[in-house]
Structure 1
C-alpha cells in the first residue's frame, strides 16, 4: 500500500511531461473523442475545436518566460519557482549541490531541524543513503553468519558462538527483506550545526539557498526553440545557437559537424518521441533515455552519438569498453549515426536574410539532419554457445 501511495504522489508531482500549459488544463475543455463512422462526433469535435481556438486565448502565450542566466559559460536558473517548474515538468537541468533533483534546500532544512520545512519530505538522496546503509549492515551480518556456519560444520564452535549463530539466523533474513520507504518526518534528533551553517540561518529559518539549476546547452536551446518557455540573458535565438556552438568549438561560423548541433539533433529527436533525455556522462556515453524520468525508473538506453562521415571515431577497444560498462548496469547500448548536410548548404541557411522568423531558419537547418539508430549488443560466449 505504501508503494502504491508513493507512486500516486510521484504521478501527482510530475504530472506534466513538458513545462507548457495546455488549454485542457487551464480551461478544463478537452477535444472529444472522434469516431470516423459517426457524423455527430465529427460535428461535436468541430464545434469544440472552434470554441477552443476562438473563445479562449492560448494559455502558454500569457505565461511568463523563465529567466535563464548565461554566466561564465554556464546556463543557470536561480529562481526557486522556475527551478521547480523545469525539473518537475520534464526533468530539465541538474541541481549543482545535489545528485540530480535540486533538493539542497530541503535537505539542509531537514539536517538542521529548521521551521521552514512544512512537509519535511525525505529526498531521493536521503533514500539512497539509507538504503546503502541498510545494505552495508546486511552484508556485514551475513558475513558473520557465514563464518559461524563454517565453524559449526567443522565442529569448532563455542557455546557463545552457537548462541550468536542462532540470533544471526533470525536477524539476517529480516535485514534482507527490509525495505526503506520514503516518507515524512525527520528522525534525526541530534542536530549538528557547522560553522558555515551560521551564515545560512537566522531565527531558525534558512535565509540563503546556495543551489541553482544548471542546464545543458542542448536543454536550453530546446526550451527556447521547441517550446519557447525561456529567455536567456536577452539573447536572440540565433545568438543563443551561436553561443552554444562556441562552447564546443571556437570558430567564426558554426561547423556542420559541431558537437552541439549533432547532440541537439538527437536530443530533439528523442524528446519529440516522448522520452526523457538526460546526460550520459556517468556511463561513458552521450545521453540517457528514461521512459518517464529519474524518480520513476532507471534509464533504459545509453546513447552514443556518431557523425556519419565515414570516419572511425571510436576504435574497437573503446567500443567494447563502453559496451561492457553499459551492459554491467543493465542498459541497452544504442549507436545513433547522424547524417548531416554539406557545409555549403548549412552556410546558405545560416547566412540567409530571407527568414523573418528565426524559428523557421532553425527548422530548415535541423530538418536537413537525419538520425539512424543501431542497437549494439555485446556478444557473451557463455550465453550464446550451443
Structure 2
C-alpha cells in the first residue's frame, strides 16, 4: 500500500496542471483570502491581494514562450522534446507516433541499449507487456488446477497429483493478489528520467496532434505557434483545419468535432481520441495514467446525411459496453450557411472574437445511451 500511495503522489506532482497554463497564484504563491462580512479589515486585505495579483505582478503565462507546432503533409507535429513533454503532462494532448500514447520511445530505446540500470521502472508499453505475461501465466496455472479438480471428481487423483493440487491452490491464491491479475496498478510506472541518461540517444519520435487539439491550444489557450511555410494566424489555421476535413461551411466535420471537444474540455474533462474503440472521443476524469476513460462519445451532427444509422450505433454500443464504458451521444446543432458566412466575413477588432461568435452558434446536447436488456429489467 505504501508503494501505491507513493506512486499516486508522484503522479499527482508530475501531472499537477490540467492545462499548459501557469496561474499567477501558482507562480507567485498568492491566494485570494477569505472575506468576513463583519470584518472591514478582511475586505481591505482582499482588495490589496487583487491589486497585487493584477497590477504588481506580471501575468506569468505572458512570459513563457509559445510552444512550436509544425504543419507538414497535413500532420500537426511537435518535434521539440521539451514542448511535447509539456503538452502531454499538462492536459494529455497528442500521441507519440512511436508509442501507444505517451511519447516514451526514447526511454524504451535507452533501456534496450542497457543505458539505464534500474529494472524497477517501466514505460507504459513495458508495463502492459508485463501484465499480459503475468495474466497468461495465471491462466495456464488455472487450467492445470481445473484439470486436477476434474480428476479429483472422477476419483482418478494420484497422491502425486493431490500434492500438486494443493500447491496450485496456494499459488493461484497468491497470484490473484497480484495487481496485474486483480486490477491495474501504476506502482511500477516510470515517471521520470535523468537528463544525463537521455543524452546519448537521438529522439526520433514526435508528438502528433489532432486538428481539434491544435486549434484548441491556439484559439482557446493561445499557448502554441503553428508554422507551415510561415507562422499561421488563427484564421489561417482554422482554414487549414477545415480543408483537412469533410464538408463545407457550417457542417464541416472539423468544426462540429471541435465544438464537442471544446464543450467537454470546458467542463473539465480530459478528451482523447476514441478511434481504437470505434467512437469519436474518450472522456477521462484526469487522464490515462490515473484511470481508464469512463465515457465514449459518438458525435451526431444535425444533418441526416452525416448521421450514423442504428446498425452502426448498436455495433459501437456493444463494443463500448464490452470495455465497461458508457456511450454518450453528442448531438450538434449548427447555424445555417448565411449566418456562418456573415460571421466569417465580418470584421472584428480581435480575431478571437470572430470564432467566439461563430462557435457560440453551435449547440451541443449530450444523451447517455444504454443497451436495454429485457432479462435484467423485468421488474
TM-score (norm 2): 0.91
Give yes or no for the alignment of 1:21 onto 2:22: yes
- Of 349, 352, 360, 1:356 maps to 349
Contact 2:123 2:189 in 1 (8 A): no
Q: Summarize the Cα distance change of 1:206–1:120 in structure 2 as closer, same or farther, 3 Å threshold.
A: farther
Please state how far the C-alpha of 1:40 moved relative to its aligned partner.
Answer: 3.4
Q: Which moved more, 1:48-57 or 1:150-159?
A: 150-159
Q: Summarize the Cα distance change of 1:312–1:245 in structure 2 as closer, same or farther, 3 Å threshold.
A: closer
Q: Summarize the Cα distance change of 1:257–1:37 in structure 2 as closer, same or farther, 3 Å threshold.
A: farther
Size of the alignment, in residue pairs?
364
- Of 337, 345, 355, 1:343 maps to 337
Please state how far the C-alpha of 1:172 moved relative to its aligned partner.
Answer: 1.4
Please give the secondary structure, in 2, of the residue aligned with 1:303.
Answer: strand
Contact 1:275 1:292 in 2 (8 A): yes
Give yes or no for the alignment of 1:266 onto 2:260: yes
Question: Which residues in structure 2 correspond to 1:370-381 (within 5 Å)?
Answer: 370-381=363-374
Please name the residue that 1:230 is paired with. 224
Contact 1:94 1:214 in 2 (8 A): yes
Please name the residue that 2:193 is paired with. none
Q: Summarize the Cα distance change of 1:118–1:363 in structure 2 as closer, same or farther, 3 Å threshold.
A: farther
Q: Summarize the Cα distance change of 1:119–1:72 in structure 2 as closer, same or farther, 3 Å threshold.
A: farther
TM-score (norm 1): 0.89
Which residues of structure 2 form unaligned runs of 5+? 191-196
Please give the secondary structure, in 2, of the residue aligned with 1:177.
Answer: coil
Q: Deviations over 1:55-78 (max 9, x none)?
A: 111111111010101101100111
Contact 1:287 1:302 in 2 (8 A): yes
Question: Which residues in structure 2 correspond to 1:1-386 (within 5 Å)?
Answer: 1-35=2-36, 38-114=39-115, 121-179=121-179, 182-183=187-188, 206-233=200-227, 234-249=231-246, 254-309=248-303, 313-352=307-346, 354-386=347-379
Please give the secondary structure, in 1, of the residue aligned with 2:250.
Answer: coil
Q: Deviations over 1:234-283 (max 9, x none)?
A: 11111100111111137xxx510111001101111111111100001111
Cα distance in 2 for partners of 1:184, 1:302 equals: 25
Contact 1:29 1:52 in 2 (8 A): yes
Cα distance in 1 for partners of 2:222, 2:204 equals: 27
Cα distance in 1 for partners of 2:89, 2:272 equals: 14
Cα distance in 1 for partners of 2:284, 2:66 equals: 26
Contact 1:110 1:120 in 2 (8 A): no
Q: Deviations over 1:296-318 (max 9, x none)?
A: 11111111111124567122211
Contact 2:106 2:198 in 1 (8 A): no
Please name the residue that 1:189 is paired with. none
Contact 1:102 1:211 in 2 (8 A): yes
Please state how far the C-alpha of 1:39 moved relative to its aligned partner.
Answer: 4.0
Q: Summarize the Cα distance change of 1:119–1:71 in structure 2 as closer, same or farther, 3 Å threshold.
A: farther
Cα distance in 1 for partners of 2:54, 2:306 equals: 51
Cα distance in 2 for partners of 1:204, 1:264 equals: 36
Please state how far the C-alpha of 1:222 moved relative to its aligned partner.
Answer: 0.4
Cα distance in 2 for partners of 1:364, 1:85 equals: 30
Please give the secondary structure, in 1, of the residue aligned with 2:298.
Answer: strand
Aligned residues: CA RMSD: 2.1
Please name the residue that 2:194 is paired with. none
Cα distance in 2 for partners of 1:311, 1:384 equals: 34
Cα distance in 2 for partners of 1:9, 1:88 equals: 13
Please give the secondary structure, in 2, of the residue aligned with 1:210.
Answer: coil
Cα distance in 1 for partners of 2:151, 2:169 equals: 14
